[in-house]
Amino acid sequence: KIPVTVIPSGGTVQIGPFSVEFIPVAHSIPESHALAIRTSAGTVLHTGDWKIDPTPIIGKPTDEKRLRELGDEGVMALVGDSTNAVREGRSPSEREVAKNITELVKAAKGRVAVTTFASNVARLRAVADAAKAADREVVVVGRAMERVVQVARETGYLDGVQAFRSADYYGNFPPDKVLALCTGSQGEPRAALARIANDDHPQVTLNKGDTVIFSSRTIPGNEKAVGAIINGLIMQGVEVITDRTHMVHVSGHPRRDELRDMISWVRPQLLIPAHGEALHLSEHAKLARECGVPKVLICKNGDLVRLGPGDPAIIEELPHGRIYKDGNILEPDKARAVVERRRLAFAGCAFVAIAVTDKGDLADDPEVDLVGIPEKNKAGEVIADEVFDLVVSTVENLPRARKRDPDAIAESVRRAVRAEINEQWGKKPLCVVHVLMV
């Protein structure tokens, strides 16, 4: 069993030489906290994900009073959320979104489906309140959503909210009495909304005159997948509402005025912008300089930063990135075995075994085994037969000096086989060649 230490909001824990205080901040995920890490050299404040929302639907507002106190005590470095550093103003409140969703659900005539990030429990509660105001039953569709709803109820975040129904009950309600709360806001192909849009869901369907509300933003890189679902729904006559036309989503991250507030509260000696692409980090750094922060350091993943003594600096780059759980082994996701299996999954593998005499002649027919490669090409020819003939001709046509070098034979055959299969199939498989000198 993994030992778990429960830390109360606002509490402090000692971790080795560091004292870590958990300071509540508003965010779309419940119980978000900034960390005030006290070291022998000074205090580092890591904001985590945060925003300023005086009246959050769930959880505590950002603790301005405690942050100001930290500023009075002295903050050596602020590691700050940069996600919205390019956007002026302030992030709107979740309550504005809740109000708009309620109005949209009440105005809808047919069935309504709402999709959002399952982790945004405040949004789930807002959708439930909207359904109640419109006299609709909430049906939860999608395993991730079901898990979050269960945990939210167990921890009290959905206290007072009517019980949700499973997808099995969807067909039991009239169109104007049901609201489906779905996974799939990012276009995930096997999530609930994608299956509904493709008319592939066993319980839930949408028809002309129904409404789908995307109460989320599209994460960069997912535009094509989300667009395909939206287009599919519109072609079925479903009305689709997104944050482009209605305020049905707000960010859980601070815009520029909120970043200015944080800097003015804690008055750090150093800002390290975090959580964003190069543009966001750069804009946060510029804003900090404008606000009078003495030092700014832009880092990338893996950078080891020395905060003191002396001027802060990047002194080393450490191994970083995702860790792949390979059976019972943990290794980098770019480990050789992991990369090879991905290649195998995409293009298969060709195994070739060759026996060659000391004069460089074939001692017997080559053995060719194709794994994960089609049996025949478009012309109906057996690909393995074509590869067999190619291996024989490749070995026979090698210069005499190379015929006596097993490594040279293997490399020549490997290159020829990959090129031949690419010509026949359009993909280059892995190729493993074993040469036995007899």
Residues 376-395: pLDDT tens digits?
Answer: 999 999 999 999 999 999 99
**Within 10 A of 72 (CB to CB), how many other CB atoms are there?**
10
**Alpha carbon of residue 318 to chain centroid:** 23
CA-based R_g, the chain, Å? 30
The SS3 assignment for 38 reads strand
Q: Do 362 and 356 meet the contact criterion of CB atoms below 8 Å apart? A: yes
Alpha-carbon distances, residue 347 vs 367, 372, 403 (angstroms): 20, 7, 29
Q: Give this prediction's pTM.
A: 0.78
Q: Do 394 and 416 meet the contact criterion of CB atoms below 8 Å apart? A: yes
pLDDT score at 24: 98
- Per DSSP (E only), the strands in 82-230 are 112-115, 137-141, 165-166, 178-182, 211-214
Per-residue pLDDT tens digits of the chain, which is 438 residues long = 888 999 999 999 999 999 999 999 999 998 999 999 999 989 999 999 999 999 999 989 999 999 999 999 999 999 999 999 999 999 999 999 999 999 999 999 999 999 999 999 999 999 999 999 999 999 999 999 999 999 999 999 999 999 999 999 999 999 999 999 999 999 999 999 999 999 999 999 999 999 999 999 999 889 999 999 999 999 999 999 999 999 999 999 999 999 999 999 999 999 999 999 999 999 999 999 999 999 999 999 999 999 988 899 999 999 888 888 888 898 888 889 989 999 999 999 999 999 999 888 899 999 999 999 999 999 999 999 999 999 999 999 999 889 889 999 999 999 999 999 999 999 999 999 999 998
pLDDT score at 145: 97
User: What does the alpha-carbon distance between residue 76 and residue 311 come to, in Å, rounded to a whole number?
Assistant: 12
Sequence-ordered list of residues with C-beta below 8 angstroms from that of 157, at least 6 positions apart, any chain: 30, 58, 121, 125
pLDDT score at 60: 93
The residue written with tokens 């000696």 in the block is: 269
pLDDT score at 400: 86
Task: Give the torsion sign (CA, 216, 219, 220, 221).
Answer: negative
pLDDT score at 359: 85
User: What does the alpha-carbon distance between residue 135 and residue 200 come to, in Å, rounded to a whole number?
Assistant: 28
Q: For residue 113, what is the enclosing H or E element?
A: strand 112-115
The residue written with tokens 């309504």 in the block is: 112
Kindly report whether the peptide bond that precedes residue 309 is cis, defined as omega within 30 degrees of 0: yes
User: What does the alpha-carbon distance between residue 245 and residue 226 come to, in Å, rounded to a whole number?
Assistant: 16
User: What does the alpha-carbon distance between residue 81 and residue 28 come to, in Å, rounded to a whole number?
Assistant: 14
Tell me 186's DSSP state.
Answer: T
pLDDT score at 351: 97
Domains in the chain with CATH codes:
12-89+252-317 (3.60.15.10), 94-241 (3.40.50.10710), 329-437 (3.10.20.580)
pLDDT score at 304: 96
The SS3 assignment for 255 reads coil
**Residue 233, both tokens:** 């729904």
Sequence-ordered list of residues with C-beta below 8 angstroms from that of 327, at least 6 positions apart, any chain: none
Tell me 288's DSSP state.
Answer: H
**Alpha carbon of residue 301 to chain centroid:** 16
